[in-house]
Amino acid sequence: MIEHIPYDDQIFAELRRVLRPGGLLILGTPDYDTVGWRTIEPLYGFFAPGGYKDEHITHYTRESLIQLCREWGFALEDTAYVFRSELGFGAAPRRRSDRVDPADVRLHATNPTSSPSTRRARSIAPTPR
């Protein structure tokens, strides 16, 4: 359901805050990097005007979710797909002793003057309609 709300740092901060020690964060969202979803969503919009297609306002990809979770202190546990387009994602809070590979934490935007939050939001911002 996270694709139905605008991206905000508070989303992941709150997920991290409320998850119990030893808990597992489970997310499900379309992966906008897959051909399957980029095909399904326009067809759904054509055959069911006014359906959820227009409600997906933040377009995540597997890579953007991995990046966000790592930045917010989660370690990727597993990913799986439904019909090669709907991403199921499991992540657990990282222990303080877990090491983070600097290559895992990268930002997609190239503007070095913007803040990390701005760069992160820009990398997953909704695509123009």
Say if strands 25-30 and 86-93 run parallel, antiparallel, or are unpaired.
antiparallel
Domain range annotation of the chain? 2-124
DSSP state of 103: G
H-state helical runs in the chain: 9-18, 35-47, 62-71, 116-124
What is the full per-residue pLDDT of the chain (129 aa) written as tens digits?
889 889 988 988 998 899 888 899 898 899 999 998 888 888 888 888 877 767 888 999 999 989 998 898 888 888 888 888 888 888 888 765 444 444 443 333 222 333 343 334 334 444 433
The C-alpha atoms of residue 45 and residue 8 are separated, in whole angstroms, by: 26
Q: What pLDDT does 64 receive?
A: 92
Q: Distances from the Cα of 110 to the Cαs of 8, 30, 54, in angstroms?
A: 20, 25, 29
pTM of the model: 0.65
In terms of Cα–Cα distance, which of 25, 48, 45 is closest to 37? Answer: 45
* CA 79/CA 126 separation, integer angstroms: 22
